[in-house]
Structure 1
Amino acid sequence: MISNPTPQRALRGHMPQRPTPRAATTGEHHAQLVGRLTYRDRWLARMLHEHKVFTTQQIVELCYPSMRAANHRLLDLFKWRVVDRFQPFVTIGTAPMHYVLDIAGAVALAYEDGLDPKSIGYRHEDAIGIAHSLRLAHTVGVNGFFTALVALGQRPGARRSLTAWWSELRCGRLFGDMVRPDAYGRWREDDHQLEFFLEFDFGTEDLGKLSRKLYGYEKLATATGITTPVLIWLPTHRRETSARRALADFLSQLDRPKLVPLATTAADAASDPAAARWLPITGPATPHPGRLRLVELAQLWPQPDLPGDVPTSSSVRTQQGPAALTAPDPFPPASPASRFRRRP
């Protein structure tokens, strides 16, 4: 006997209902969000605006105790159009979900900073467009380096933390006429702190081009009077060996090479970015210190203790562009009202 089968569409999972782009910007929708968004939600939205995209695992490292807790809240934020999401195609296995800032989240952040939403330069097409960008893997890699540092600072009894983290875009606005690092960070451990620029190499960039960036860092240090170490992350030990030769050759050609302290590491050296994995590039007459921890780089290249939370490199003039939102503190706020609160 032939019976009518269940239509395939009835077997599919439920698709969350979301407001339209127009509805997501209305006063009615934002009046509802006022009572729904926690401090952590707003902080995460600001982090997404600053750093463009995070995977679910990176968001867990930032501010959730478990994958389940993160997925539970991210689904709500997705329904409210605070965040949007996509899942890239991969040839083997399944890619993690990637999250970007959505329309309602951008509008809320603009009003939070007293800005016109149109002035902050947000476009949903650009935000979700990173899904097709050839720099997606690079951006996720850079962000993964820093989310791992944030997670280290949240371990019980931790005496270290990431106290500043700027995106490539913010660095470009500040000193892009001289150099454009992939990110800027400040790491504090015990009584030591290290300001640094990060160059994240996937092995696709010509080593000559990578080396020529040192000239820009020398120019920046000369202009500001601030010596900021440059940390270079490479994909393999083999690539690191080749890069170190090229970097050392170019460093010796600079007028003031001491203004550009360099250290390299390979992705396959260790999983912990603060571990003893960083190998400084020294001159032929300088003793070789071996691989050092992040805090030991601060001891090798001591820097003045900075008052407040504003990085010293902010003294460089800002280039013109869209109104910049306040840079978020990389350490998440406490969420006392949440049953998923991370233990101190």
Structure 2
Amino acid sequence: MSALPRPAHGPGSRYTARAATTRPRPAARHTDIAALSRILTGRDLWLTRMLHEHRVLTTPQIASLAFTSLRSAQRRLRTLHQHAVLDSFRPLTSTGSAPEHYTLGPAGAALLAAHAGCDLAGLGWRPSHTGRIAYSPTLGHDLGVNDLLTRLATQARTTPGTGLSLWLSERSCARRWGDIIRPDAYAHLHAGGRLLPFFLEYDTGTEPATRVEAKLAGYAAFTAATGTRPALLLHTRTASRDRTLRQRLAGTARELGLTIATASADYTTTDPLGPWWSPLPPGDSRRTALAHLAARPGLTPATGLDPTDADTPLTLPVPPLPPASQAGP
């Protein structure tokens, strides 16, 4: 098996293509879904939906989204793992050790299926679910996307009025707009009193620049077909990759009239809201913060976000943060 894509920093930067087996758990407990209702909190139910939506989250990511400390997160996650609500694995790394990676477990999948009135096949969950994620060649990419959006979502903890109000996964984006575009995520960021609706393309350097350039035509077609105009954030693995793509995409961005900003993990790993984003032409291309990018004229949220009769509890957006009353220890 070939090596996983490796960002220069952050999640996935040191992974090999092997993963440790899932952590052993005691003999099955609370296999009766009704019995689980006695121990599960609103935050626990939110977490099962988040893992169904975003596939895999690490302990630090979950802790920053839903807990006041890493230790309290670890205690609760162990309990949920023991009851098979969650499954977990820990990838092997070339140096050091990776954090625990959590996925939806069998009891959690059965719980969501019961809420949606479907069976596990309708949910899309199989017993091999965790293994397929653990050995997926896109694991580093998926964790990078989730880490960047997690950091943006948790800004509300330190800066009131700042953070994500909407976060759709690649799968949810494909369900809504897959006939035109397939971004890695779509989100609404509130910053500086403004709303920044954006698509995210998380580039790990495995695609040729020509293929990245070809995606821009799809975003232009989306704007023309829907009459809406979200920004496009292009996040790269390294600053050198960022420069390469900017040189390649500048002319196309100008011709298509798209609002695009680029940044790399060399800058955004600790503070993605900082002045690390550089707009492509037209306009000033000096690096700026996302709050300033939100002030650009003409940006509007994407269409196709309102619930329809075709939606189910599993296709409606999951709030990026848990219920306020459940975000404690």
Aligned partners of 2:90 and 2:99 also within 8 Å = yes
Per-residue deviation at 1:108?
1.3
The residue aligned with 1:181 is 183
Structure 1 residue aligned with 2:305, among 314, 321, 336?
Answer: 314
Mark the runs of 5 or more structure 1 residues left unpaired by the alignment: 1-13
Shift of 1:126: 2.9
1:262 partner amino acid: I
Is residue 17 from structure 1 mapped to residue 26 from structure 2 by the alignment? yes
The answer to whether the aligner puts 1:230 opposite 2:223 as a matched pair is no
What is the match of residue 249 of structure 1? 251
CA–CA distance in 1 between the matches of 2:219 and 2:85? Answer: 37
Look up the match of 1:272. Answer: 271
Residue 325 of structure 1 and its aligned partner are, at CA, apart by 3.3
* Matches for 1:295-306 after TM superposition, within 5 Å: 295-303=291-299
Structure 1 counterpart of 2:321, which letter?
A: F
Equivalent positions of 1:2-41 (< 5 A) are: 16-19=25-28, 24=31, 29-41=32-44
> Could you say which residue in structure 1 is the equivalent of 2:102?
99
**What pairs up with 1:74-113 in 2 under 5 angstroms?**
74-113=77-116
Alignment of 1:188-227 (within 5 A): 188-227=190-229
Q: Please say which structure displays the higher CA radius of gyration.
A: 1
Question: Does the 8 Å contact 1:119/1:323 carry over to 2?
Answer: no
Identity across the alignment (%): 35
1:9 corresponds to which residue? none
8 Å CA contact 1:82, 1:103 repeated in 2: yes
Give me the CA root mean square deviation.
Answer: 2.6
1:129 pairs with 113, 119, 132, which one?
A: 132
* Structure 1 pair 277–118 and aligned structure 2 pair: CA distance change class (3 A): same
Whole-Å Cα distance in 1 between the matches of residues 272 and 49 of structure 2?
24
- Output one character per residue of 1:68-106: Cα deviation in whole Å (capped at 9) or x when no partner: 101100011001111100011112111111000011112
C-alpha displacement of 1:322: 10
Which 10-residue stretch deviates more, 81-90 or 270-279? 270-279
Task: Give the deviation of 1:16 after TM superposition.
Answer: 3.3
Aligned equivalents of 1:301, 1:204: Cα separation in 2: 33
Question: How far apart, CA to CA, are the structure 2 residues paired with 1:300 and 1:221?
Answer: 16
Q: Is the 8 A contact 1:186 1:193 kept in 2?
A: yes
Confirm or deny: 8 A CA contact 2:116 2:312 kept in the other structure.
no
Q: Deviations over 1:132-151 (max 9, x none)?
A: 00000000000000111122
Partners in 2 of 1:316 and 1:77 — Cα distance? 30
Number of residue pairs aligned between Structure 1 and Structure 2: 306
- How many angstroms does 1:314 deviate by? 2.7
Alignment of 1:152-191 (within 5 A): 152-155=155-158, 158-191=160-193
- In structure 2, C-alpha distance between the alignment counterparts of 1:50 and 1:316, rounded to whole Å: 16
Provide closer, same or farther for how the CA distance between residues 189 and 217 of structure 1 changes in structure 2, counting only shifts above 3 A: same
| Structure 1 position 251, deviation (Å) | 2.7
1:209-230 CA distances to partner (integer Å, 9 max, x unpaired)?
0110001111111111101111
> What secondary structure sits across from 2:235 in the alignment?
strand
Partner of 1:11: none
Residue 199 of structure 1 and its aligned partner are, at CA, apart by 0.5
Structure 1 pair 82/127, CA: closer, same or farther in 2 (3 Å)? same
- Residues 81 and 105 in structure 1, CA contact (< 8 A), matched pair in contact too: yes
Q: CA deviation at 1:289?
A: 4.9
Indicate conservation of the 8 Å contact 1:278/1:294, yes or no. yes
Give the alignment's TM-score, normalised by structure 2: 0.86
Q: CA deviation at 1:290?
A: 1.6
Matches within 5 A, 1:46-61: 46-61=49-64
TM-score by length of 1: 0.82
CA drift of 1:266 comes to 1.3
Name the SS for the 1:130 alignment partner: helix
Q: State the match for 2:319 in structure 1.
A: 329
Which of 143, 149, 162 is residue 146 of structure 1 equivalent to? 149
1:21-58 residue CA offsets vs partner (Å, 9 max, x unmatched)? xx83xxxx212210100000000110000000001111
